[in-house]
Amino acid sequence: MKLKNKTAIVTGAGSGNGRAIALKFFSEGANVVIADLNEEGAQETLRLAGAESNGLVIKMDVTKRDEVQRMIDETVRTFGTIDILVNNAGIVGFTPFLELGDKEWDQVHDVNLKGPFLCSQIAAKEMINAGNGGRIINITSVEAHVIVSSSGKCQPHYNSSKGGLNLLTKAIAIELAQYGITANNIAPGVVETPFTASGLSNPEAKRWVLDRLPVGRIGKPDDIANAALFLASDDSSYMTGSTVFVDGGWTAI
Ligand SMILES: NC(=O)c1ccc[n+]([C@@H]2O[C@H](COP(=O)([O-])OP(=O)(O)OC[C@H]3O[C@@H](n4cnc5c(N)ncnc54)[C@H](O)[C@@H]3O)[C@@H](O)[C@H]2O)c1
């Protein structure tokens, strides 16, 4: 029960990594806000947790300041505090650089970079008011550090949004350290979620991925949730502005 009496918000918790993180936090005793654009997925996460009294589903869009503010206000009204924020909601696009239009560029940066900016800023103000410190965990990617070019396709906007988030985390970590708030990244490699399902359904693409993984298997959402639990708990109190790579060795090669 490493998160007993703690309240966590997990964005994008209606699917994949976010769902696994929310379920892990529930199992460690936390109150968990399951925030997602996809309300059905979020309700399913709550059902899987079987923990109605310490769960709250909020349908919201991380790119909209007023919706993020509403999420924070509802969380405080329901549970009294916010101790942990996991900025997990994310999207990807596969259009190569020379063909990439403004709309797709903006969409990817709005969700992957502006969303964590808004959620972190508004949650941090609440954490500072409460005076109990806090934890901000940002889900970046190995693609914040290296260019994977999945199946030969580049994702320049995904790379720049996650690379930007990597440095946003460090800036937040420095500015908020004085309040006892830490900020760290988890950089997943390839994880089996709806996000990667279409790519991994192609046996050639799956082989290509496996050939680059020293551990010999593709990641599972629970691998990411285990790292999130560590960063959310007191065990990581001496870490801030840092990145935990959960990538099966991808970036070690
Ligand atoms: N799956 C992987 O291999 C992998 C690898 C590296 C990083 N990641 C990162 O992990 C995170 C989660 O990815 P996943 O694989 O679980 O994807 P997923 O598509 O299964 O889940 C993403 C969730 O985010 C929600 N979401 C999207 N836009 C939103 C918005 N504007 N507001 C609120 N919610 C929104 C979706 O509704 C969905 O439930 C993402 O940030 C992704 O970039 C995933």
Which pLDDT score, from 0 to 100, does residue 55 have?
A: 98
CATH T-level topology, domain 7-246: Rossmann fold (3.40.50)
Query: Is 58 a pocket residue for ligand 1 (Cβ < 6 Å)?
Result: no
For residue 150, the model assigns a pLDDT of 66
79 — pLDDT class (breaks 50, 70, 90): very high
| pTM beyond cutoff 0.95 | yes
31-65 tens-digit pLDDT: 999 999 999 999 999 999 998 789 999 999 999 99
Q: DSSP string spanning 27-39? A: HTT-EEEEEES-H
Find out whether the beta carbon of 246 lies less than 6 Å from any atom of ligand 1: no
Q: What is the pLDDT of residues 94-142, one digit of tens each?
A: 888 999 999 999 999 999 999 999 999 999 999 999 999 999 999 999 9
pLDDT > 90 in the chain, percent: 90
Compute, in angstroms, the gap from residue 32 CA to the centroid of ligand 1: 17
Residue 36 CB less than 6 A away from ligand 1: yes
3-state secondary structure string across 43-104:
HHHHHHHCCHHHEEEEECCCCCHHHHHHHHHHHHHHHCCCCEEEECCCCCCCCCHHHCCHHH
For the chain, the domains span 7-246
CA distance 92 to 180: 33
pLDDT attached to residue 151: 58
Catalytic residues: 158
Q: Say whether pLDDT at 198 is over 90.
A: no
Mean pLDDT, rounded, of the chain: 96
Cα–Cα distance measured from residue 68 to residue 40, given in angstroms and rounded to the nearest whole number: 19
Q: Does residue 91 line the site of ligand 1, with CB under 6 A?
A: yes
Task: State the closest ligand 1 atom to the C-alpha of 190, by its place in the atom list counted from 1.
Answer: 3
Nearest CA to ligand 1 atom 31: 61
* Cα three-residue angle 51-19-119, rounded to 5 degrees: 100
By alpha-carbon position, which residue is closest to atom 34 of ligand 1? 36
Question: 91, 95, 134, 93: which is closest to 113 by C-alpha?
Answer: 91
